[in-house]
Amino acid sequence: METSIAVRRALALVVLLAQPSWAASDPDIDKIRDEIRDLKSNYEARIQSLEQRLKDAETRATAASAAPAPPPAPAPANSIAAFNPAVSVVLQGSYANLSSDPSKFALGGFLPAAEIGPGKRGFSLGESELAMYANVDDKFSGNLIASLTPDDRVSVEEAYGIWMTAPYGMVPKFGRFFSGLGYLNEQHQHAWDFFDAPLAYQAFLGGQYANDGVQVKWVAPIDQFVELGAEAGSGESFPGTSVNRNGAGSFTAFAHMGGDVGESHSWRAGLSYLRTHADSREGTLPGVAANDADLAFTGRSDVAVADFTWKWAPNGNPHDRNFKVQGEYLWRKERGDLTYDASDALGLRNASAYSSRQGGWYLQGVYQWMPLWRVGARYDQLDPGTVDYAANAPFFGATDFNPKRYTMMVDYTPSEFSRWRVQVAQSHPRPGMTDNELFVQYILSLGAHGAHKY
Amino acid sequence: MRKILSTLAVCLAAWVPAAHAALSVFATVPEWGALVTELGGDKVKVYVATNALQDPHHVEARPSLIARARSADLVVATGAELEVGWLPLVTQQAANARIQPGKPGYFEATSAVSLVGRPVRLDRAEGDVHPQGDPHIQTDARNIGRVAGPLSAKLVELDPANAPYYQARLKSFNDRWSAAIARWEQKAAPLKGVPVVVQHKAFTYLIDWLGMKEIAALEPKPGIEPTTTHLAEVLEILQKTPAKMVLRAAYQGDRPSQWIAERAHLNAVVLPFTVGGTDGAKDLFGLFDDTIDRLLKGAS
């Protein structure tokens, strides 16, 4: 508005100035002319400044229309539900066809472990997993993973807090968690590439090693991936037991390294060590021809693990095709006392010194040859090593048998959230037992999007 | 002892400024890596976590990524849950307090742009939906310009000593970018109204910008592999409403596009999608030069 008035005034002035002069010599007129000239330059300056302002405003307007400010985020619903943790559920189930009686499963030359063997025959519901995760406050986050077992029990698989703002890039974790030991151990069973755990994990860690205690992890602030970690815990899970003392029952230390080789390859390697103690660790040795025997071990158990994983994906894009090789070698050294009790045979109970140095390994490869479809092969072997049963020796067979297993699987993954798997295996766990196994498995993930570890 | 200590102190003194000489930036995808380089010049050290032949939805949280995130000063991500399958794991495992979401060292490009395609129904039965809207904003050149300002402000915030440098680079970039947009829009005028089919719904912003028309998508639901049943349905749609070309990003497999291109007599067009996706897309300017060239060729 102001601009248009100014323009009109200026136009009037121009018309005025354009008038021919009648009396050029009159000093009064000269004076008036001077005044008008002053006025004119004055107005020109003002018009120029107004034009500039108009131009600026126009530029601003176009800039604003080119970059509309994002609409303000909707205010969060004023409800306590807004702070609910992220919830996810994993549903699993399987069908198993086993040629040998799973209750007679034992690893020849190895003391019985917590969860070994191929599981039960026929249809079964796998462990359903219920996970909740949220930041607690500005310092801590919490994670609960409960496992609902098919026999209607609820067990706490993991329940831990993480101190997120710890200094020096350390990540302290406390509560119950899967140990950082090895490669497979930290992953949840539904993320494994095969239906069951490698024999070495079954023999030495009872399937998977969880700990109640504290863990500290630290990643080195350099371009090469180096991760160090240590744990102290109750050591109550296999191969340890509750030892009724104030100090920690188990210690773990691990180191991981990893990196890329070109665009298409990546790797991770690690070394881990676990020391734990057992006080009357009980297990049942299925009798082959005779009665079952109850065993109890008291002593120290040391486990060392070397793991290596190599992944390939063309240009680092695993979507269409990818290949993964992974292998782990586990050693275990145990020293202590062993009680042998063939409960049904009168008087057959004996306690004696026991020591063993044993090993085991697996190597597996999984190839995705087209989107959604993968095929995998695995070989497992245990080395009974040297075992000294001392006075118990007559109750145990020779220990030169190598338990082994050959496994193949095919799985179909229609989306990130569902997977179907068929697995066949031939297992030779102890002398005289060959088990041909077929598994069909489904894994369904509901709810919050959980990212998968490398 | 004193000698050793003083040597250590000297080493430390030499090392510390060296480590902070440049702002260390972890860009999740090549387009933001390229933009940070444009805006930060030699004051930033940029690591790009993925290349143009990788699907940004599905990247593995590899050890190398964790190591790079560990010492980064700034993470530049697309946001809107594009990287939800891997970035949270990387930042969490790297345990670098500076780059956690909500901290000054975490920047999401989608925060500068209003997103389209917010799903009406939030259900996994609808495929891999992005609850906050379509995150593939970089396919519209104007969005890159919208992100440049806030991103430059972020560099200034983290490295105020070099503020005039960043501001000068932003101005230079904005000038060149507006000129380039005008050039691209003029060049792409013949694309207005051209009907296209997309393999993945990744080009919504590009199609809106250039005024093309999306007839169908080869993926039955976002992120779900094309099935033969669905492709047959698309073929049927195309018989009623013919399209000129089928678009796919460089990182995607070519089989579904080829299948439909042969049967519906379309041109199969590969678009770089991000910097490095094709030989022509060497930088942000090349990305759109090449995209528009390929579209024009496909439409002719």
The 10s digit of each residue's pLDDT in A297-341 is 999 999 999 999 999 999 999 988 999 999 999 999 999 999 988
Chain A residue with Cα closest to B62: A454
Q: Give the count of beta carbons closer than 10 Å to the beta carbon of residue A421.
A: 20
- What is the CB neighbour count within 10 angstroms for residue A402? 12
Q: How far apart are the first and last CA of chain B?
A: 78
DSSP 3-state of B212: coil
- Find the CB nearest B68 among A164, A223, A451: A223
CA pair distance A418, A415, nearest whole angstrom: 6
Of A284, A286, A288, the closest CA to residue A431 belongs to A288
Neighboring chain A residues of B59 at a CB cutoff of 8 Å: 316
Provide the pLDDT for residue A350.
86
Per mean pLDDT, which range of A228-232, A290-294, B145-149 is the poorest?
A290-294
- Report chain A residues whose CB lies below 8 A from the CB of B100: 164
Q: Edge to edge, what strands does the sheet with B44-48 contain?
A: B44-48, B23-27, B74-77, B106-108
A172 and B CB contact within 8 Å: no
Q: How far is A9 from chain B (nearest CA, A)?
A: 37
CB contact under 8 A, A318 and B58: yes
Cα separation, A67 vs A61, in Å, equals 10
At B36, is the secondary structure helix, strand, or coil? helix
- From residue A69, alpha-carbon distances to A61, A73, B112, B176 in Å are 13, 11, 7, 22
What's the rounded mean pLDDT across residues B77-88? 92
Q: What is the mean pLDDT of the segment spanning A239-247?
A: 85
- Token readout for A436 is 């041909």
Reduced to 3 states (helix: H, G, I; strand: E, B; else coil), residue A371 is: coil
Q: CB B60 to CB A318 under 8 A?
A: yes
Chain A residues inside the 8 Å CB shell of B20: none
Q: Could you tell me how far CA A242 lies from the centroid of its own chain? A: 28
Could you say which of B64, B71, B89 has the minimum Cβ distance to residue A260?
B64
Neighbours of A287 (CB within 10 A): 14
Q: How confident is residue A9, by pLDDT bands cut at 50, 70 and 90? A: low
Q: What percent of chain B has pLDDT over 90?
A: 77
Structure-token match 């030892």, residue found: A243
Residues 269-308 of A with CB under 8 A from B: none
Instruction: Give bridge partners of residue B159 from the DSSP assignment.
Output: none
| Predicted confidence (pLDDT) at residue A391 exceeds the cutoff of 80 | yes
Pick among B60, B73, B100 to test the A interface (most A CBs inside 10 A): B60
- Of the candidates A171, A218, A219, the beta carbon closest to that of B67 is on A219
Task: Give residue B191's pLDDT.
Answer: 95
- Looking at the complex, report in whole angstroms how far the Cα of residue B73 sits from the nearest Cα belonging to chain A: 12
Contact between chains at B62 and A372 (C-beta distance less than 8 A)? no
Other Cβ atoms less than 10 A from the Cβ of A356: the count is 22
A169 touches chain B (CB under 8 A): yes
Nearest-CA residue of chain A relative to B50?
Answer: A316
DSSP A326-347: EEEEEEEEEEEEEEEE-TTSTT
Closest CA to B21 of B5, B49, B6, B40: B40
By C-alpha distance, the chain B residue nearest A447 is B124
Using the Cβ of A79 and the Cβ atoms of chain B, whether some distance falls under 8 Å is answered with: no
Do residues B250 and B53 touch, judged by C-beta distance below 8 A? yes
Contact across the interface for A317 and B146, Cβ inside 8 Å:
no
pLDDT band at B44 (very low <50, low <70, confident <90, very high): very high
10 Å CB burial of residue A20 (0-12, 13-18, 19+) is: exposed
User: Which residues, 6 or more positions from A444, have their beta carbon under 8 angstroms from its beta carbon?
Assistant: A90, A91, A92, A417, A418
Joined together, the tokens standing for residue A43 give: 């107005």
| Interfacial A residues in 12-71 facing B (CB < 8 Å) | 66-68, 70-71
| CA atoms of A362 and A376, how far apart (whole Å) | 13
Q: Do B62 and A258 make contact, defined as CB atoms within 8 angstroms?
A: yes
CA atoms of A157 and A172, how far apart (whole Å): 19
**What one-letter code names the amino acid at B61?**
A
Closest CA to A188 of A272, A259, A253, A130: A130
List the strands of the sheet with B267-271, edge to edge. Answer: B213-217, B195-198, B245-249, B267-271
- Which amino acid appears at position A189 of this protein? Q
Q: Does residue A10 surpass a pLDDT of 80?
A: no
- Residue recorded with tokens 């248009």: A4
Task: Decide if A200 contacts A362 (C-beta within 8 A).
Answer: yes
For residue A43, report the phi and psi dihedrals to the nearest 5 degrees.
-65, -40
Q: What angle do CA A254, A256, A261 make, to 5 degrees?
A: 170
The string of pLDDT tens digits covering residues A75-111 is: 555 567 778 888 999 999 999 999 999 888 888 888 8
Contacts for A349 with CB less than 8 Å, ≥ 6 apart:
A339, A340, A341, A342
**Residue A324 in contact with partner chain B when CB distance is under 8 A:** no
Task: List, in sequence order, every residue forming a beta bridge with A410; answer none if it has no partner.
Answer: A375, A422
CA distances from B7 to B1, B13, B16 (A): 10, 10, 14
Contact present, B224 and B207 (Cβ < 8 Å): no
CA distance A335 to A297: 9
CA-based nearest residue in chain B for residue A266: B62
Tell me: the pLDDT tens digits for B223-268? 888 888 999 999 999 999 999 999 999 999 889 999 999 999 999 9
For residue A377, give the nearest of A430, A331, A323, A413 by alpha carbon. A323
Which residue carries 């930088």 as its tokens?
B283
How many other C-beta atoms lie within 10 A of the C-beta of residue B53?
19
- Would you call B62 and A222 a contact, using CB atoms and an 8 Å cutoff? no
The whole-number pLDDT of residue B122 equals 79
Contact B58 A222 (CB under 8 A): no
Task: Compare CB distances from A221 to B71, B114, B124 and report the shortest one's residue.
Answer: B71
Q: β-pairing, B23-27 with B44-48?
A: parallel
Nearest CA in chain A to B145: A67
Q: How far B85 CA lies from chain A's nearest CA (Å)?
A: 5
Residue-level pLDDT at B16? 45
User: Which of A71, A219, A454 comes nearest B95 by C-beta?
Assistant: A219
Q: What pLDDT was estimated at residue A16?
A: 45
Hey, is A424 helix, strand or coil?
strand
The whole-angstrom separation of Cα A234 and Cα A18 is: 103
pTM: 0.83
Nearest to A454 among B61, B96, B142 (CB): B61
Contact between A158 and A210 (Cβ < 8 Å) = yes
User: Which two tokens mark A435?
Assistant: 């088990």
% of chain A surpassing 70 pLDDT: 83
Interchain CB contact of A346 with B (< 8 Å): no
**Cβ pair B95:A218 closer than 8 A:** yes
Task: With beta carbons less than 8 A apart as the criterion, state whether A348 and A306 touch.
Answer: no
| pLDDT value, residue A48 | 72
HSE (side-chain half, CA atoms, 13 Å) at B265:
3
Asked if the Cβ–Cβ distance from A219 to B142 is below 8 Å, we say no
Per the document, the length of chain B is 300
First-last CA distance in chain A: 66
Higher-confidence residue of B228 and A406: namely A406
3 state DSSP class of A349: strand
Smallest Cβ distance to B112: which of A70, A165, A414?
A70
Nearest-CA distance A74 → chain B (Å): 12
How far is the C-alpha of A393 from the C-alpha of A366, rounded, in Å?
41
Contact A249, A236 (CB under 8 A): yes
- Amino acid (one-letter) located at A259: G
Q: Are the C-beta atoms of A447 and A86 separated by less than 8 Å?
A: yes
The verdict on a CB contact (< 8 Å) between B111 and A268 is: no
Rounded to the nearest 5 percent, the helix, strand and coil shares of chain A are 20, 50, 35
Mapped onto helix, strand or coil, the DSSP state of residue A163 is strand
Asked if A449's CB is within 8 angstroms of B84's CB, the reply is yes
C-beta separation of A272 from A299 below 8 A: no
- Residue B59 corresponds to which tokens in the numbers above? 């990247």
* Subunit contact A451:B112, Cβ cutoff 8 A: no
Q: Whole-angstrom Cα distance, residue A251 to residue A248?
A: 7
CA distances from A153 to A87, A90, A187, A205, B281 (A): 20, 16, 22, 22, 58
pLDDT in tens, B129-151: 788 899 999 999 999 999 999 99
Q: Which of A66, A258, A320 sits opposite B63 (nearest CB)?
A: A258
- The verdict on a CB contact (< 8 Å) between B54 and A315 is yes
A221 at B interface, C-beta within 8 A: yes
Find chain A residues with C-beta within 8 A of B88's C-beta: 451
Q: Checking phi first, is residue A152 left (phi over 0); if not, alpha (psi -120 to 50) or beta?
A: left
Q: Is the model more confident about A158 or about A7? A: A158
Question: How far lies A321's CA from each of A6, A193, A362, A370, in Å?
Answer: 72, 16, 23, 6
Tell me, what amino acid is at A413?
T
Contact between B89 and A372 using a beta-carbon 8 Å cutoff? no
pLDDT at A31: 74
